[in-house]
Each structure stands twice: as structure tokens, then as C-alpha cells.
């Protein structure tokens, strides 16, 4: 049978381990709280923005939509320029044919 001193030694050893575990738990809680704050800040920057300005994701979506609109207009004007150049080439060829037919 264990003496009372041995029991107290074991209890003190267990108490020290419990204290170490408690300090580790407190440190873990502190690190988790810091991580949650960083995550919240990043999420706020990406999605919510600050006040009147939208978040980065909203800005990227807006820029992407503007790019699509610019591409539509660019294709439209290139189509017109292509048509004008084609009409000029055809007109020049017809003019050359008329000049050589007369001459």
C-alpha cells in the first residue's frame, strides 16, 4: 500500500501536468482568437469592403463585366473598320478595272 507522502507526490505531479495543460489551452485559445480576427479581417476585405467601397471580389466582378463590355465594343468597331477596308479594296479594284477597260 502507498504511503500518504507518495499519494501527495503523485497528486502534485498530476497538478503540475494539469497546470501545464491549462497554460497550453490558454495559449491555444489566444492563438485561435488571433487567427479568427485575421480571418474576419481578410473576409471583410475580400467580400464586404469598408463602408461605401465594395470588397475586392465585388471590384473584380465589376472589372470583369466592364472588360466584357469593352470587348463587345471593340469587336463592333473592328467589324466596322473591316467593312470599310473591304469596301475600299473592292472599290479600288473596280476603279482599276473601269480605267483599264476604257483605256
Confidence of residue 51 (pLDDT cuts 50, 70, 90): low
Confidence of residue 63 (pLDDT cuts 50, 70, 90): confident
Residue-wise pLDDT tens digits, 78-97: 999 999 999 999 999 999 99
Give the whole-angstrom CA distance, residue 88 versus residue 96.
Answer: 12
DSSP string for residues in the chain: ---HHHHHHHHHHHHHHHHHHHHHHHHHHHHHHHHHHHHHHHHIIIII-STTSPPHHHHHHHHHHHHHHHHHHHHHHHHHHHHHHHHHHHHHHHHHHHHHHH-
Place of cell 473601269: 98
> Model-level pTM?
0.42
Give the whole-angstrom CA distance, residue 8 versus residue 17.
Answer: 14
Q: Calculate mean pLDDT across residues 1-7.
A: 76
The x, y and z cell numbers of residue 21, run together, are: 495543460
Amino acid at each position: 500500500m502507498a504511503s500518504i507522502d507518495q499519494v501527495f507526490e503523485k497528486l502534485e505531479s498530476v497538478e503540475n501536468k494539469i497546470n501545464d495543460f491549462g497554460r497550453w489551452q490558454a495559449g491555444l485559445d489566444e492563438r485561435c482568437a488571433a487567427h479568427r480576427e485575421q480571418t474576419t479581417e481578410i473576409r471583410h476585405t475580400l467580400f464586404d469592403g469598408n463602408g461605401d467601397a465594395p470588397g475586392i471580389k465585388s471590384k473584380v466582378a465589376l472589372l470583369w463585366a466592364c472588360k466584357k463590355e469593352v470587348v463587345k465594343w471593340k469587336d463592333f468597331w473592328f467589324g466596322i473598320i473591316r467593312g470599310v477596308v473591304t469596301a475600299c479594296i473592292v472599290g479600288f479594284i473596280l476603279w482599276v478595272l473601269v480605267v483599264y477597260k476604257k483605256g
